[in-house]
């Protein structure tokens, strides 16, 4: 199999490798927020730039709908028409004023969910995608496990206070948003300021304005997000922002001054960090071993946000399998991944990029989990040279 043919699976391995490590940054006195729980992360690396009770479980209100939206998008049913049920029509709280029996595209419901925060849309989406509310909640919790949201329990698709066991953490919601922002359609919906939806059986359209004031009024670097409020959760907010190639995700839970909290965190991070390409994608140039020289490829670049003082503390270490002294690899194929690049900051691992052989000898073909096992051993040490 060629390097290009393996990139898709290898990228999954890379993502897993990077998610296995973290390197939080202490913001000390530079940031002070009103929120009970808060976090700021850099999107590409997942680095935690600021945290305040970020692992404390709290109620989350309508930022729940980020999970509802991404499941709807990933269902492959966005072009299907949804028939609104009586159950959906009667949902309390923020509403699109859907009528039982009307038909509306799932895509329009997701826009209404994210912009107008329609609780009736959440129920209609759940019933259509999951077959029932209970079925959809099961999908929500399964996806949460897949993403690594270890302190999250979903009990409904909208975030209303109708269940005791419905909560998450600022950290988990940042993980969810980071995952969702990898999806182009989610990014488009989240960043939309206004959306028009033709109404079944009517001559006039529904028009929804985005409730995220950072996006619509307050912050020029805003790229989207989701607002939330219930009496028990208070104000919750997830927002994203981008400037000079740095993409940020902020989450606040129970935050009286959430708009200011997010702008303060964003401005501080944009002033403090820059995104550095630590590992370039492609052939690794600085390998002198005659067997590997100009034949080893990093399948993905690794970028990481650092302060001016941290850049000189970055350390890149290359580890490769020791080639056999006989012609074993010529006969049986080169193992892949054949090594790793481990990046450290102040002696703490911040990322691992698998290295793949791209030379004249045939490469062994392995299953995804065989590659994962090999990568695990690479992360934890191998017989090496380089």
Residue positions annotated with a catalytic role: 62, 65, 117
Question: What is the Cα–Cα distance from 115 to 193, expressed in whole angstroms?
Answer: 7
Angle (deg, nearest 10), helices 133-147 and 119-130: 90
Pick from 311, 386, 304: which is nearest to 351 by CA? Answer: 304
Report the distance separating Cα 377 and Cα 234, nearest Å. Answer: 46
Among candidate residues 249, 254, 276, 277, the one with its CA nearest the CA of residue 179 = 249
- The answer to whether the beta carbons of residues 105 and 82 sit under 8 Å apart is yes
Q: 79, 175 in Cβ contact below 8 A?
A: no
Q: In what order do the strands lie in the sheet with 348-357?
A: 282-283, 296-298, 348-357, 339-345, 314-321, 384-385
């Amino acid at each position: 199999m060629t390097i290009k043919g393996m990139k898709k699976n290898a990228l999954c391995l890379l993502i897993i490798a990077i998610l296995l490590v973290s390197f939080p940054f202490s913001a000390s006195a530079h940031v002070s927020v009103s929120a009970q729980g808060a976090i700021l992360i850099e999107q590409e690396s997942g680095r935690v730039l600021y945290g305040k009770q970020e692992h404390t479980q709290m109620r989350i209100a309508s930022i729940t709908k980020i999970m509802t939206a991404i499941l709807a998008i990933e269902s492959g049913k966005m072009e299907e028409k949804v028939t609104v049920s009586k159950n959906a029509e009667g949902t309390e709280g923020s509403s699109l004023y859907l009528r039982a029996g009307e038909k509306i595209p799932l895509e329009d419901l997701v826009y209404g969910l994210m912009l107008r925060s329609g609780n009736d849309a959440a129920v209609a989406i759940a019933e259509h995608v999951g077959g029932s509310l209970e079925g959809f909640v099961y999908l929500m919790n399964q996806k949460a496990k897949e993403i690594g949201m270890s302190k999250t329990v979903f009990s409904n698709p909208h975030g209303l206070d109708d269940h005791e066991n419905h909560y998450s953490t600022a950290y988990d919601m940042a993980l969810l948003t980071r995952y969702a922002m990898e999806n182009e359609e989610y990014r488009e919906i989240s960043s939309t300021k206004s959306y028009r939806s033709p109404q079944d059986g009517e001559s006039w359209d529904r028009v929804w304005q985005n409730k995220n004031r950072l996006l619509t009024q307050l912050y020029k670097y805003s790229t989207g997000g989701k607002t939330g409020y219930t009496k028990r959760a208070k104000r919750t907010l997830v927002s994203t922002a981008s400037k000079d190639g740095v993409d940020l995700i902020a989450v606040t839970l129970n935050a009286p001054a959430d708009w200011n909290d997010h702008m303060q965190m964003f401005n501080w991070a944009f002033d403090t960090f820059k995104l550095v390409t630590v590992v370039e994608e492609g052939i690794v140039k600085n390998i002198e071993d005659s067997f590997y020289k100009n034949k080893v490829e990093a399948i993905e670049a690794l970028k990481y946000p650092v302060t001016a003082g941290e850049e000189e503390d970055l350390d890149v270490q290359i580890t490769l399998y020791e080639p056999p002294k006989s012609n074993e690899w010529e006969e049986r194929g080169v193992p892949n991944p054949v090594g790793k690049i481990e990046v450290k900051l102040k002696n703490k691992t911040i990322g691992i990029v698998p290295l793949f052989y791209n030379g004249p000898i045939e490469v062994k073909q392995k299953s995804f989990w065989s590659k994962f096992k090999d990568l695990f051993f690479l992360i934890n040490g191998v017989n090496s040279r380089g």
